[in-house]
Amino acid sequence: MKTYFNIFKTKSQAYFATNIMFVAFIAANLLNATMLRFLTVGKILAIKPILADTAILLIIGAFAYVIKPKKQYIYFLVWTIFLTIICVANSMYYTYYMSFASVSLLSTSVFIVDVGDAVVEQVLNIKDFVYAYAPILLILLHIRLTRHDYYAMVTKIGRAKKTAVMTLMVASIMMAVFFLSLTSIEISRLYKQWNREYIATNFGIYTYQANDVFQSMEPKISGLFGYDKAVKTFRDYYIANTNLDKANKYTGIFEGRNVIVIHAESIQQKAMDLSFNGAEVTPNLNKLAKEGNYFDNFYSQVSVGTSSDAEFTFNTSLMPVSSGTVFISYADREFKTTVNLLKDKGYYTYCMHGNNAGFWNRNIMYKQIGYDDFISKEDYVIDDTIGLGISDESFFKQSVAKMVEKKSTLAPGQPFYSTLITLTNHTPWSETDRYGNYPVTMTANVNGQEIVVPYMEGTTLGNYYKSTHYADNAIGMFVEELDKAGLLENTVLLIYGDHDARISAKDYDRLNNYDPATDSVLMPEMEGYKVYDEYDYELDRSVPFIIWTKDKKFNVKEKTVMGMYDVLPTIGNMLGISSQYELGHDIFSVTDNVVVFPNGNFLTNTVYYNNQKEEYKALSNTPISQEYIDQNIAHANSILTVSNSIIKFDLVKKQRLFDILKESSNDEKTTN
Ligand code: GP9
Ligand code: MN
| Percent of the chain scoring above 70 in pLDDT | 93
Burial of 22 (0-12, 13-18, 19+ CB in 10 A): buried
- Closest listed residue to residue 171, CA positions, set 56, 3, 71, 314: 56
Lowest mean pLDDT across 203-207, 258-262, 379-383, 404-408: 203-207
Helix segments in 184-305, DSSP class H: 184-192, 196-203, 205-216, 218-221, 227-240, 269-272, 283-291
* Average pLDDT rounded to a whole number, residues 112-135: 68
Q: What pLDDT does residue 111 have?
A: 47
What does the alpha-carbon distance between residue 329 and residue 219 come to, in Å, rounded to a whole number? Answer: 7
- Phi and psi (nearest 5°) for 558? -95, 120
pLDDT digits (tens, 9 = 90+) for 285-322: 999 999 999 999 999 999 988 999 999 999 999 999 98
Nearest ligand to the CA of 361 is: 1
Lowest mean pLDDT across 59-68, 284-293, 356-365: 356-365
Does the Cβ of 359 fall within 6 Å of ligand 1? yes
In this predicted structure, the answer to whether residue 41 has a pLDDT above a threshold of 90 is no
- Report whether 294 contacts 544 (CB < 8 A): yes
E-strand ranges in 487-544 read 491-497, 514-515, 520-521
* Average pLDDT rounded to a whole number, residues 127-141: 94
In this predicted structure, the answer to whether residue 31 has a pLDDT above a threshold of 50 is yes
pLDDT digits (tens, 9 = 90+) for 376-403: 999 999 999 999 899 999 999 999 999 9
3-state secondary structure of 348: strand
Distance (Å) from CA 310 to ligand 1 centroid = 10
Residues 6+ apart with CB under 8 A from 488: 479, 482, 549, 550
DSSP state at residue 411? P
Handedness of CA 564, 568, 572, 575 (dihedral sign): positive
∠ CA 85-360-651, rounded to 5°: 105
Nearest ligand to the CA of 97 is: 1
- Closest listed residue to residue 261, CA positions, set 421, 379, 404: 421
Element (H, E) at 395: helix 392-409
Q: What pLDDT does residue 672 have?
A: 62
Q: What pLDDT does residue 154 have?
A: 83
Q: What pLDDT does residue 153 have?
A: 87
In this predicted structure, the answer to whether residue 459 has a pLDDT above a threshold of 50 is yes
CB neighbours (10 Å) of residue 465? 24
What does the alpha-carbon distance between residue 611 and residue 300 come to, in Å, rounded to a whole number? Answer: 17
Q: What pLDDT does residue 192 have?
A: 63
- Report whether 171 contacts 58 (CB < 8 A): yes
In this predicted structure, the answer to whether residue 155 has a pLDDT above a threshold of 90 is no
Does the Cβ of 426 fall within 6 Å of ligand 1? yes
What are the DSSP calls for 207-221, one per residue? HHHHHHHHHHTHHHH
Mean pLDDT score across all residues of the chain: 91
Q: What pLDDT does residue 118 have?
A: 47
Residue 221: what residue type?
Answer: I
Does the Cβ of 263 fall within 6 Å of ligand 1? no
pTM equals: 0.79
- Closest listed residue to residue 544, CA positions, set 442, 425, 388, 398: 425
What does the alpha-carbon distance between residue 209 and residue 190 come to, in Å, rounded to a whole number? Answer: 11
What does the alpha-carbon distance between residue 32 and residue 131 come to, in Å, rounded to a whole number? Answer: 6
Q: What pLDDT does residue 194 have?
A: 61
In this predicted structure, the answer to whether residue 361 has a pLDDT above a threshold of 90 is no
Does the Cβ of 355 fall within 6 Å of ligand 1? yes
Q: What pLDDT does residue 479 have?
A: 98
Query: Which of the residue ranges 186-190, 325-329, 510-514 has the most confident prediction, judged by mean pLDDT?
Result: 510-514
In this predicted structure, the answer to whether residue 419 has a pLDDT above a threshold of 90 is yes
Residues 6+ apart with CB under 8 A from 308: 325, 326, 327, 328, 360, 361, 362, 365
* Average pLDDT rounded to a whole number, residues 542-561: 94
pLDDT digits (tens, 9 = 90+) for 46-62: 889 999 999 999 999 99
Nearest ligand to the CA of 266 is: 2
Q: Best of 105, 498, 503 to mutate for ligand 1, by most ligand atoms within 8 A of CB?
A: 498
Q: What pLDDT does residue 269 have?
A: 98
Distance (Å) from CA 419 to ligand 1 centroid = 14
Q: What pLDDT does residue 120 have?
A: 47
Q: Does residue 576 or residue 154 have the better pLDDT?
A: 576
In this predicted structure, the answer to whether residue 131 has a pLDDT above a threshold of 80 is yes
DSSP state at residue 46? -
* Average pLDDT rounded to a whole number, residues 480-491: 98
Distance (Å) from CA 244 to ligand 2 centroid = 32
Distance (Å) from CA 123 to ligand 1 centroid = 16
Nearest ligand to the CA of 114 is: 1
Nearest ligand to the CA of 498 is: 2
Lowest mean pLDDT across 13-22, 134-143, 219-228: 219-228
Q: What pLDDT does residue 215 have?
A: 73
Name the residue with the closest Cα to ligand 1, atom 5. 307
In this predicted structure, the answer to whether residue 245 has a pLDDT above a threshold of 90 is no
Q: What pLDDT does residue 144 have?
A: 93
Does the Cβ of 306 fall within 6 Å of ligand 1? yes
Distance (Å) from CA 258 to ligand 1 centroid = 26
Q: What pLDDT does residue 288 have?
A: 98
- Report whether 286 contacts 272 (CB < 8 A): yes
- Report whether 301 contacts 318 (CB < 8 A): no
What does the alpha-carbon distance between residue 496 and residue 445 come to, in Å, rounded to a whole number? Answer: 38
Q: Best of 359, 419, 425 to mutate for ligand 1, by most ligand atoms within 8 A of CB?
A: 359
Residues 6+ apart with CB under 8 A from 267: 282, 285, 425, 468, 471, 472, 497, 498, 543, 544
Ligand 1 atom nearest residue 359's Cα: 4
Q: Best of 302, 328, 360, 378 to mutate for ligand 1, by most ligand atoms within 8 A of CB?
A: 360
Ligand 1 atom nearest residue 265's Cα: 9
pLDDT band at 117 (very low <50, low <70, confident <90, very high): very low
Does the Cβ of 207 fall within 6 Å of ligand 1? no
* Average pLDDT rounded to a whole number, residues 179-202: 78
Q: What pLDDT does residue 110 have?
A: 45
Does the Cβ of 548 fall within 6 Å of ligand 1? no
Ligand 1 atom nearest residue 266's Cα: 9
In this predicted structure, the answer to whether residue 116 has a pLDDT above a threshold of 60 is no
Q: What pLDDT does residue 662 have?
A: 82
- Report whether 322 contacts 339 (CB < 8 A): no
Ligand 1 atom nearest residue 499's Cα: 9
What does the alpha-carbon distance between residue 74 and residue 142 come to, in Å, rounded to a whole number? Answer: 10
pLDDT band at 193 (very low <50, low <70, confident <90, very high): low
What does the alpha-carbon distance between residue 314 and residue 332 come to, in Å, rounded to a whole number? Answer: 18
Distance (Å) from CA 422 to ligand 2 centroid = 9
Count how many residues are written for the chain.
672
In this predicted structure, the answer to whether residue 113 has a pLDDT above a threshold of 70 is no
In this predicted structure, the answer to whether residue 109 has a pLDDT above a threshold of 50 is no
Q: What pLDDT does residue 74 have?
A: 95
Distance (Å) from CA 329 to ligand 1 centroid = 17
